[in-house]
Amino acid sequence: MLPLRQRRGYKRRMTDATDHSGHGFSTRAVHAGQEPDPTTGAVMTPVYLTSTYVQEAPGVHKGYEYSRTQNPTRDALQANVAALEGGTAGIAFASGLAASHGVFSLLSAGDRLVCGHDVYGGTYRLLDQVMTRQGLTFETVDTTDLAAVDEALSTPAQMVWFETPTNPLLAVTDIAAVCERARAAGAISVVDNTFATPYLQTPLALGADIVVHSMTKYLGGHSDVVGGICVTSDDELAERLRFLQNAVGAQIGPMDSFLVMRGTKTLAVRMERHCDNAEAVADWLAAHPRVSTVHYPGRADHPGHAVAKGQMRRFSGMVSFELDADLETATRLASATKLFALAESLGGVESLLDHPASMTHASVPREERLKTGFTDGLLRLSVGIEDLADLLADLEQAFDTAFA
């Protein structure tokens, strides 16, 4: 057996060291925020299905008054994910987009946001069709291009928002470099860490002010819950986000909080398996004569590979690719897989296949998509934790069917 530090995946990172418990990632995943129930000793956090809490006298209570404002199950989840991201505060919402809306709502009419040009379609739609009506302006920029970021920040901006790796092109942005630029420009930096998860990448340690997740994806991990969270170590931002969570009322419910917590406990083991399978699927696709491009940051031919290696532990379970064929063939392939279910979303234990142009990203205008190299024929895989041989056999039979 190799010494602990040389085993694959074992790397004490900056955030492991800075977490106040001093515990490693998997220990925090299982224990952070999880105290035995004070009344019964239940080891698992109970689902506190209550809207209100009794008070001994007006204003005299145990810290809980009303469940929109505080709920013990939600508190446990928030503490858990905050510990995983190496932050001091987690503020959980009913969905990833509700969390994003919370963060955008830190801004005021007249403020300007610089947004990565390859973000989740719903994030783009929220900015384009909701936030702009409230007086926010935004500009999309390729955040993998630091000169373009400098140029965008030469006009005053209050927030910089990006994903890395991106959805669906898996482009990689240098988190430390962009956050440093945002800070110098006086803007809050926000990283949507949904695709990487805190197991693989911790943006707060690289200078980000806020991390956002769709917990619907890897954190929940079983495609059975919708949720979102913001994590920060900035007390003032945390206070403002908590205020918005309560004032707007888009917080996550206790049952959903419990489901996400059940998922985070196994995040490290699931991510290792997602990464193993995705690496092999990406290599298989790259060797296939009908595939023209594979986007996977773990491959040496990916333009962001060096940056990804510097800021990620491994490269996650998402792979996208283009066929050397017309749209009709791509559609046939998308309909022919049997284990890879044709479905939106990602990050669950089961493998999924998505045609982003007609499914997850249909809300992004075609000309915006094409600017980023995101074509109509792009297919995206969320590689699950099934047996690799079965996944490859499924892809093989789908290729055979599509090109018959």
Ligand X SMILES: Cc1ncc(COP(=O)(O)O)c(C=O)c1O
Q: Which residues bind ligand X (CB under 6 A)?
A: 95-97, 120, 122-123, 163, 167, 192, 194-195, 214, 216, 226, 228
Output 86 or 122, the one with its CB closest to ligand X. 122
Output 34 or 164, the one with its CB closest to ligand X. 164
Q: What is the DSSP string of 246-285?
A: HHH--BPPHHHHHHHHHHHTTHHHHHHHHHHHHHHHHHHH
CB 190 to ligand X: min, Å: 11
CB 94 to ligand X: min, Å: 8
Q: How many CA atoms within 13 Å lie on the side-chain side of 274?
A: 35
The catalytic residue among 68, 183, 240, 290 is 68
The yes-or-no answer on residue 217 being catalytic is yes
Task: Using CB atoms within 10 Å of the CB of residue 349, give its burial: 0 to 12 exposed, 13 to 18 middle, 19+ buried.
Answer: middle
Output 318 or 336, the one with its CB closest to ligand X. 318
- Phi, psi dihedrals of residue 381, rounded to the nearest 5°: -110, 135
The catalytic residue among 217, 314, 369, 380 is 217
Output 34 or 216, the one with its CB closest to ligand X. 216
The yes-or-no answer on residue 192 being catalytic is yes
The yes-or-no answer on residue 262 being catalytic is no
Task: Using CB atoms within 10 Å of the CB of residue 248, give its burial: 0 to 12 exposed, 13 to 18 middle, 19+ buried.
Answer: middle
The catalytic residue among 120, 124, 218, 296 is 120
**How many Å apart are CA 253 and CA 68, to the nearest integer?**
9
**How many Å apart are CA 268 and CA 348, to the nearest integer?**
13
Output 299 or 361, the one with its CB closest to ligand X. 361
Output 34 or 201, the one with its CB closest to ligand X. 201
Sequence-separated (6 or more) residues with CB below 8 Å from residue 70:
63, 64
Q: In this structure, is the dihedral angle defined by the CA atoms of residues 75, 80, 85 and 88, taken in order, positive or negative?
A: positive
CB 192 to ligand X: min, Å: 5
**How many Å apart are CA 347 and CA 126, to the nearest integer?**
22
CB 119 to ligand X: min, Å: 7
Output 34 or 189, the one with its CB closest to ligand X. 189
Output 92 or 226, the one with its CB closest to ligand X. 226
CB 183 to ligand X: min, Å: 23
CB 122 to ligand X: min, Å: 5
CB 340 to ligand X: min, Å: 17
**How many Å apart are CA 289 and CA 88, to the nearest integer?**
49
The per-type count for the chain, helices as H runs and strands as E runs, is: 15, 12
- CA end-to-end span of the chain: 48
The yes-or-no answer on residue 120 being catalytic is yes
The catalytic residue among 75, 142, 192, 256 is 192
Sequence-separated (6 or more) residues with CB below 8 Å from residue 97:
122, 123, 126, 214, 228
| Inter-residue contact 313 to 8 (CB < 8 Å) | no
**Share in percent of the chain as helix, strand, coil (round to 5):** 40, 15, 45
CB 132 to ligand X: min, Å: 19
**How many Å apart are CA 321 and CA 180, to the nearest integer?**
32
Count Cβ neighbours within 10 Å for each residue of 179-212 and write b for 16 or more, e otherwise.
bebbeebebbbbbbbbbbbbbbbbbbbbbbbbbb
| Inter-residue contact 353 to 330 (CB < 8 Å) | no
CB closest to ligand X, residue no:
96
> Which residues are part of the catalytic machinery?
68, 120, 192, 217
